[in-house]
């Protein structure tokens, strides 16, 4: 790949298109997420994620955006309002938390991307009280954020940062199979939940994988 082909920044319109692509991929994963969640949860996680991203798609397509802040805010608010329950709040916060009080950004680069998701991680932990090892979406999001932060110090390539986030999130999903759940319906299963991956963590991995795919397709 030529150096000048490497994507280093995205404008608001491109971020909008990237998140629309993410939504498509999450909706395509609805049966898979439903299966994963049915094993130790309520079985409705895939339905909720599809609802959230369907609403986000509807609201994103209604307007043109000039700031990264507004793209993330619109996505997050759509999820909170349409999904309901804890998942709606948590996954809405994944997009809302990082742009709250963030200075206006018209370009998304690796440093900004890492900063947004780091703030989101903090906000989700404050809301949900979960930590690494509790068999939740944190188990994929925290490693993904660490990958983004590390990339921000070593590279200005978005694709490299998102590859790192994707790989770390996938490893995090795999790790959830070894954990006893401390939240949700699966908490009542105790050690019987061991061997099964967490659905929320799986969704986080799909989100980062899809972002990486979109950027890769546009290099």
Does the predicted model carry a pTM greater than 0.85?
Answer: yes
Alpha-carbon separation of residue 16 from 71, 92, 101, 137, 204 (angstroms): 6, 16, 20, 23, 18
- Whether residue 152 has pLDDT greater than 90: yes
* Per-residue pLDDT, 186: 73
Average pLDDT, the chain: 93
User: What percentage of residues in the chain have a pLDDT greater than 70?
Assistant: 94
Domain span including residue 115: 10-217
Radius of gyration of the chain (CA): 16
Residue at 1 is within a domain: no
Q: What is the mean pLDDT of residues 158-162?
A: 97
User: What is the predicted pLDDT for the residue at 30?
Assistant: 98
Specify if 86 maps to a domain: yes
CATH of the domain at 25: 1.25.40.340
Give every CB contact of residue 173 below 8 A, 6+ residues apart in sequence.
139, 140, 197, 198, 201, 202, 204, 205
| Count of domains observed in the chain | 1
Phi first, then psi, for residue 106 (nearest 5°) are -100, -10
183 burial class (0-12, 13-18, 19+ CB within 10 angstroms)? Answer: middle
Establish if 133 belongs to a structural domain. yes
**DSSP letter at 97?**
T
Q: Is residue 45 part of a domain?
A: yes
pLDDT reported for residue 1? 35
Average pLDDT for 4-11: 82
What's the pLDDT score for residue 17?
A: 98
Reported confidence tier of residue 182, pLDDT bands at 50, 70, 90: confident
42 — pLDDT class (breaks 50, 70, 90)? confident
pLDDT of residue 189: 64
4 found inside a domain: no
Where does residue 146 fall: left (phi above 0), alpha (psi -120 to 50 degrees), or beta otherwise? alpha
Phi, psi torsion values for 61, nearest 5 degrees:
-75, -10
Average pLDDT over residues 166-195: 83
Q: Is residue 51 part of a domain?
A: yes
pLDDT in tens, 45-90: 999 999 999 999 999 999 999 999 999 999 999 999 999 888 999 9
Please check whether residue 2 lies inside any domain of the structure.
no
Does the pLDDT at position 99 exceed 90? yes
């Amino acid at each position: 790949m030529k150096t000048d082909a490497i994507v280093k920044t995205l404008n608001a319109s491109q971020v909008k298109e990237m998140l629309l692509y993410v939504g498509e991929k999450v909706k395509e994963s609805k049966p898979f997420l439903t299966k994963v969640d049915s094993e130790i949860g309520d079985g409705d996680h895939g339905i909720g994620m599809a609802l959230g991203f369907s609403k986000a798609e509807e609201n994103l397509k209604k307007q043109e955006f000039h700031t990264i802040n507004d793209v993330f805010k619109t996505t997050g608010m759509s999820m909170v309002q349409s999904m309901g329950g804890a998942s709606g709040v948590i996954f809405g916060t994944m997009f809302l938390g990082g742009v709250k009080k963030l200075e206006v950004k018209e370009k998304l680069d690796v440093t900004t991307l890492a900063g947004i998701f780091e703030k989101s991680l903090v906000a989700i932990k404050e809301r949900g009280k979960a930590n690494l090892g509790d068999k939740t979406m944190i188990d994929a999001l925290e490693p993904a954020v660490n990958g983004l932060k590390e990339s921000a110090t070593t590279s200005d390539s978005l694709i490299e940062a998102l590859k790192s986030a994707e790989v770390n999130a996938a490893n995090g999903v795999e790790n959830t199979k070894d954990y006893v759940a401390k939240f949700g319906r699966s908490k009542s299963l105790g050690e019987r939940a061991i061997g099964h991956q967490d659905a929320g963590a799986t969704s986080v991995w799909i989100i980062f994988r899809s972002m990486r795919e979109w950027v890769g397709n546009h290099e």
